[in-house]
Amino acid sequence: MSTRPVVSPGSPVSASGFQHPLRVAGAIVVAAVLFVAVPRFASEYWLSAVLIPFLVLSAAALGLNLVTGYAGQISLGSAAFMAVGAYATYNLVVRIPALPLPIALLGGGLVAGATGALFGITALRIKGFYLIVSTLAAQFFVEWLFTRVSWFSNDDTSGVLVAPRLAIGHWTIDTPASRYLFALGTVTLLYVFAARVVRSELGRRWMAVRDMDTAASVIGIPVAGSRLLAFAVSSFVTGIAGALWAFAYLGTVEPHGFDLDLSFQVLFIVIIGGMGSVVGNLLGAAFMVLLPILLSNAAGAFAHAGIEAGQLQNLQKIVLGTLIIVFLVREPDGLARLVQTVLLRSRSRSSSASAGSTR
């Protein structure tokens, strides 16, 4: 006669048994809100000016976080690889009209990944400040290349290319809601891809190289190959984000849309959200997108304090710089660690309160 173990309601086994259905139900609710409720009830302003840039910037930060947060290779050329992905996708869509849009996006990401691996060769010999300079050189070189060589812009003399008509099958992507759904679906796939990569053997190799490359080499990890793959995978994700930035948000493809300021913005998202955290990219991007909106809404209060409306942009830079210093000194893991700490404390308090009530 077989006997089953008796599990008390408050035991960890019973709690874990309930956690899986709750997570599935929570994921279904979140997906329903994001894919159904938001595009139906959100205004065009929130879709075009808030949610789409939030999604695209979080994807770009995700790509940078793969090479910086997980592999330990610092890069300031994120906007350059975003530009490569945007221009490659544009040329694939324009020059091969029969090519489906998802395949063109994938092709643009692959071209950006190959470009990232090419510039990542420098990471095999140099590191630290010198690696930063080499990725910064990639930023200026790519911007110069797309400005001077007219072939990449389909021999257009204006320099500003209008994004081509987007469609997937019979679904035409020409409204703010459709562009939001297109960006949301693509970014979701990128996050699923990145989460699988960081949990794989390749992700563990990156973290080993990041923590101590000499020890990683001793135990048989190919340090050079791991670094090149980090730059390639990072640039692949960043390139697709660049295509979304041009097609779904800007509506144009131009070199100045991928300038150095965008590279710093993506880097700040990684620092504020948390290096080595997938969820931190969402938190950092939300902060970067919502901060200007909060400051503009508080313009009246700042006016009473003697701060003019024209100084709000400088105030935004002061707040952003102060927070970056605070995060680097006090909490290098960013908002992701802060949120995790708050959740752990709330769970411990609720569990202690429930334990006290059962006594």
Task: Give a three-class secondary structure readout of 40-56.
Answer: HHCCHHHHHHHHHHHHH
Strands of the chain, DSSP E: 161-162, 166-168, 171-173, 252-253
Does pLDDT of 356 surpass 50?
A: yes
Does pLDDT of 15 surpass 60?
A: no
Beta partners for residue 172, in sequence order: 167
Distances (CA, A) of 201 to 118, 204, 272: 23, 5, 27
Q: Tokens 């101590």 sit at which residue?
A: 212
Q: Who wins on pLDDT, 114 or 17?
A: 114
Answer yes or no: are the C-beta atoms of 10 and 354 closer than 8 Å: yes
Q: Could you give the 3-state DSSP secondary structure of residue 165?
A: coil
Parse the chain into domains and list their residue ranges: 42-257
Does pLDDT of 6 surpass 50?
A: no
pTM above threshold 0.75: yes
Q: What confidence tens digit (pLDDT) does each residue in 211-233 have?
A: 888 898 899 899 889 999 999 99
Distances (CA, A) of 227 to 61, 98, 122, 135, 217: 18, 36, 10, 14, 12
Q: What confidence tens digit (pLDDT) does each residue in 29-49 have?
A: 888 889 999 999 999 999 999
For residues 276-304, give the mean pLDDT.
81
The whole-number pLDDT of residue 310 equals 67
Give the least confident one: 199-213, 293-307, 324-338: 293-307
Answer yes or no: are the C-beta atoms of 252 and 311 closer than 8 Å: no
Does pLDDT of 17 surpass 60?
A: no
Q: How far apart are the first and last CA of the chain?
A: 35
Q: Who wins on pLDDT, 195 or 327?
A: 195
For residues 129-155, give the mean pLDDT.
87
* Structure token digits, residue 260: 């150095």
> What phi and psi values does residue 23 have, to the nearest 5 degrees?
-65, -40
* Structure token digits, residue 116: 């990232």
* Structure token digits, residue 124: 């095999």
